[in-house]
Amino acid sequence: MTAFDPSTRFADIREGVAKICARFPGPYWRDLDARRAYPTGFVEALIAEGYLAAMIPEEYGGSGLPLTAAAVILEEIHAQGCNAAACHAQMYTMGTLLRHGSQAQKAAYLPGIAEGSLRLQAFGVTEPTSGTDTLALKTTARREGDEYVINGQKIWTSRAEHSDLMILLARTTPREEAQSRTDGLSVFLVDLRGKMGNGIDIRPIRTMINHATTEVFFDNLRIPAGSLIGEEGKGFRYVLSGMNAERILIAAECIGDARWFLEKGAGYARERVVFGEAIGANQGVQFPLARAQAHMMAAEAIVYRAAAMYDAGENPGVEANTAKLLASEASWEAGEACMQTHGGFAFAEEYDVERKWREARLYQIAPISTNLILCYIAEQVLGLPKSYGPGRAG
Ligand SMILES: Cc1cc2nc3c(=O)[nH]c(=O)nc-3n(C[C@H](O)[C@H](O)[C@H](O)COP(=O)(O)OP(=O)(O)OC[C@H]3O[C@@H](n4cnc5c(N)ncnc54)[C@H](O)[C@@H]3O)c2cc1C
């Protein structure tokens, strides 16, 4: 017996998720895509069945399941042709709150999140001028009495308009005064309710996929000092450990996308008859699908290995990044094979292939781009000179 068989572990969860997804077929997503609208009904259905509270401890009303179970949930959503981007942040920001939040913060927010009355869907890290160089971010949080005052701007803060809470990374000590290169940033759990136009302005960005992403402007936003998660100045470390969870979960979604593309592509190849035979009888059609299948299986193994390590309390930076790299490439390869197999019909919206193909492309760029993962592996695993940020060689 293998250590982890992704196809059978948490089979009941897969079955339950697939049942929900069956209520939200292609036309539902196509309609939302055309209107760039948020899948409220789908998210509410997941909440109602408790899936978005999977990682919240039982004492706070959740199921207390490990990250592996969350990965299975998100993978299955994507494999069924749906998209978890509207709600996956609740899973990947959870680690930051669970591992570093105070008892008071957990007691105040987790029960509401578990029952669905509070939404923790926004994660504000990226800024327009700093990009991947997180340590260069400029949003500041200044302590004034028992409050922090936030000023600055975030970009690509997805779901900010559909969230009550935001995990925010901001600078509390100027870079030049911080004790070390990675000190001086802090994480806050910002309650967005009642703050629109009162310190916060959110502007949607229209993108090639339906992702509810936004720009967020902070103008003297006052938040209680108790919004700080963990210790002031240590936020970069907290966010990094949360990012491992994020990468593993996004990678699981990519595996789900790859499965969807392969099932759809192989199904079409079996049925589409040209020149008097099924196109799938030709190796030129079979091989790209078979190769993508092989790469998907290899990526799946590292995704669940990284998840198991995370659940064991380890800090699997190399595995989580490798999982995201390989899974995003596997889903893209499967998407390309599925597209090519469908010929002209790939372009018809009613096949859902073009929508999924657009959606799958994101994960080679966000939450971290392929190049930056390669930089990290080159440095951390292969001992090559650092090729990004301060301290790079040359
Ligand atoms: C739809 C969408 C949703 C998103 N949601 C969120 C969110 O909810 N919260 C959030 O905080 N962020 C979010 N992001 C931001 C995302 O994480 C960033 O876009 C991503 O990390 C890349 O940063 P950047 O766009 O600033 O690219 P840049 O950092 O400007 O990089 C541009 C290109 O240059 C390459 N590059 C840069 N430096 C190097 C180097 N040293 N060596 C080699 N190549 C290099 C990169 O690989 C990349 O391809 C989202 C982005 C998108 C598009």
Whether pLDDT at 393 is above 60 = no
Give the model's confidence band at 95: pLDDT under 50 very low, under 70 low, under 90 confident, else very high: confident
pLDDT over threshold 70, residue 220: yes
**107: CATH:** 1.10.540.10
Reported in sequence order, the residue ranges of the chain that DSSP labels E, i.e. its strands, are: 120-124, 140-144, 147-155, 165-171, 185-191, 200-204, 214-224, 228-229, 273-274, 277-278
Range of the domain at 315: 237-380
Indicate which residue's Cα is closest to atom 48 of ligand 1: 369
Q: Are residues 34 and 90 in the same domain?
A: yes
pLDDT mean over 348-361: 98
Q: Whose CA is nearest to atom 24 of ligand 1?
A: 131
Residue at which a domain ends, from 85, 115, 145: 115
Q: 156 C-alpha vs ligand 1 centroid, how far in Å?
A: 9
51: which residues sit within 8 A by CB, 6+ positions away? 13, 16, 17, 20, 73
Q: Are 131 and 226 in a shared domain?
A: yes
Separation of 353 CA from ligand 1 center, angstroms? 25
- Dihedral pair phi/psi, residue 164, rounded to 5°: -90, -25
Domain CATH for 333: 1.20.140.10
Same domain, 166 and 106: no
Ligand 1 atom nearest 89 alpha carbon: 8
Distance 127 CA to ligand 1 centre (A): 10
Average pLDDT value for the chain:
95
Q: Which of the listed residues 156, 167, 188, 209 should we mutate to test ligand 1's pocket, taking the one with most ligand atoms within 8 A of CB?
A: 156
- Domain end (from 211, 233, 255): 233
Residue % of the chain over a pLDDT of 90: 92
Q: Using one digit for the tens of pLDDT, what is the confidence trace for 118-150?
A: 999 999 999 999 999 999 999 999 999 999 999
Pocket of ligand 1 contains residue 16 by CB under 6 Å: no
Q: What is the pLDDT of residue 194?
A: 95
Pairing of strands 120-124, 165-171: parallel
Does the Cβ of 137 fall within 6 Å of ligand 1? no
Task: Tell me, yes or no, whether 138 and 242 share the same domain.
Answer: no
- Taking the centre of ligand 1 as the mean of its atom positions, its distance from the CA of residue 366, in whole angstroms, is 6
Q: How confident is the model at residue 242 (pLDDT cuts 50, 70, 90)?
A: confident
* Shared domain check, 302 and 367: yes
Ligand 1 contact via 77 beta carbon (within 6 Å): no
pLDDT score of 5: 67
Residue of 8 and 85 predicted with greater confidence:
85
pLDDT recorded at residue 362: 98
pLDDT digits (tens, 9 = 90+) for 301-325: 999 999 999 999 999 999 999 999 9
